[in-house]
Amino acid sequence: MTEIAIIAATFFGNKGAEAMISSTIGKLREAYPEARFNVYSYYSKIDRTLVSDKKIEFYSASPLYLVTVLNPFALIYKLLGYLRFNTLQQRCPESVKALARSKVLICLAGVSFVDGRTKFLPFNIATILPAMILGTPVVKFAQAVGSFKNPVNAFFAQAFLKRCRMVFTRGNKTHEYLQGLLGGPCENVRRANDIAFLFQPGFSLSKPELENFPASKSLVESAKNAGKGVVGICPSIVVHKKAEKAGWNYADMVAKIVSALSCKGYHVVLFPNATRGSDASMRHNNDLPLIENIFQELKEDERKNTSLFTGLLNAAQIHEIIRMCDIVAVSRFHAMIGALSLEIPVTVIGWSHKYLEVMELFEQEDMVLSYEEGHHENVVQNIIKLESERVQRAEKIRKLLPEVRALAQSQVDYVCSLIENDRH
């Protein structure tokens, strides 16, 4: 029985992470239908309630569990094996034994070893160190890393990334950063594209949100039937927090964008790409309270021109929402990936080089704005331009998408080659 381990992605919370893990499992199952997946999740207990697939086992990857169980017992397991104390070795936690049995650990972190995110550095290390201790090959699927101007980040990135069996970089800028750190081209560094480009609704493994989704979908369909242009807007609590630190109100900016579009006759779709419920205290990986605040800022007539999607939507439903839109404006990275995958023109208000390097793949870099610009007029201008060039831009995306997907598929092919080589 082939066992494959996955870490740094969840089904609960960030729907981009769900798209990544669903795509990874879906594509690997095409090659290994009987494979079992050991998923190390920050939300392992909740993920288990969302996913009923019996060939997927969930283990905790919370910071506390990584520090107190997975890392120390990986070392103990390895030492007991070296001493041939096999009976004692089998008394180690099942999470450690499952990782040791796995043919590979696939790390699906969206970003890791990034300057300015030093507080996440111990987590970046702790997620891959147990596999390295146990001798399980670590493969990092396409993600953003760098820059490496911070000497602490540079030191640990060099120490651990060069020990990965393979690191797939998600864009040219990331590739340059990593090659610069490691001193030039390396055998264990390759360019690839985000695995979520391979997402298909049939890969979806989690329960869909059924309470509010049908009614919101019906409102959008009514607007389309009335001949209105539909603009999807996906805000981000991450960008909102960054704007707060910079001293301005991101939610107010998005509300002004919705208001301006409503005045121009558009129907606006407000949707999240990270959902953990409507509790305003749960801000991490949760766009819902932000979206509801934006909606409350609108005038009554503007609300009538706005469809609001809430609840614990899954990745397939996010794709369905985007598919209903003519164009979208997003601050969530994987909402951008979803739009490009569906050949829907998109403009981005982002915070990292990761947005630009992906949009460049589709020659859409002129549609990337930094959150630091903080002016709703710029976004509205981009949306109007996007609408006027919608057909041409969709055709450009359609033309370049197969090449992008092929590079995403190369990661799956590499993992399959590792498994086959191990068999021989």
136 token code pair = 């399980």
Q: Do the domains 208-344+346-388 and 3-202+404-423 match in fold?
A: yes
- In the numeric block, the tokens 């107190």 are attached to 68
Show the DSSP H helices in 52-150 as ranges.
Answer: 63-65, 71-82, 86-89, 94-101, 121-134
Euclidean distance between the first and the last CA atom of the chain, given in angstroms as a whole number: 15
Domain ranges of the chain: 3-202+404-423, 208-344+346-388
Q: Determine whether domain 3-202+404-423 maps to CATH 3.40.50.2000.
A: yes
Phi, psi of 38 (to 5 degrees): -100, 105
**234 DSSP 8-state letter:** E
Cis peptide before 147 (omega within 30 of 0): yes
**Three-class secondary structure assignment of 254-306:** HHHHHHHHHHCCCEEEECCCEECCCCCCCCCCCCHHHHHHHHHHCCHHHHHCE
What is the Cα–Cα distance from 403 to 102, expressed in whole angstroms?
31
Packed helices 94-101 and 71-82: angle between N→C axes, nearest 10 degrees: 70
What are the residues whose beta carbons fall under 8 Å from the beta carbon of 222, sequence distance 6 or more? none
What are the residues whose beta carbons fall under 8 Å from the beta carbon of 374, sequence distance 6 or more? 243, 246, 248, 250, 253
- In the numeric block, the tokens 């290390």 are attached to 125
Pairing of strands 346-350, 368-370: parallel
User: How many Cβ atoms from other residues are within 10 Å of residue 201's Cβ?
Assistant: 13
Count the residues in the chain: 424
pLDDT of the chain along its 424 residues, tens only?
899 999 999 999 999 999 999 999 999 999 999 999 999 999 999 999 999 999 999 999 999 999 999 999 999 999 999 999 999 999 999 999 999 999 999 999 999 999 988 899 999 999 999 999 999 999 999 998 999 999 999 999 999 999 999 999 998 889 999 999 998 888 999 999 999 999 999 999 999 999 999 999 999 999 999 999 999 999 999 999 999 998 999 999 999 999 999 999 999 999 999 999 766 567 788 999 999 999 999 999 999 999 999 999 999 999 999 999 999 999 999 999 999 999 999 999 988 888 998 999 999 999 999 887 767 999 999 999 999 999 999 999 999 999 999 999 999 999 999 999 876 5
Architecture field, domain 208-344+346-388: 3-Layer(aba) Sandwich (3.40)
173 token code pair = 């800028």
- In the numeric block, the tokens 């002129």 are attached to 366
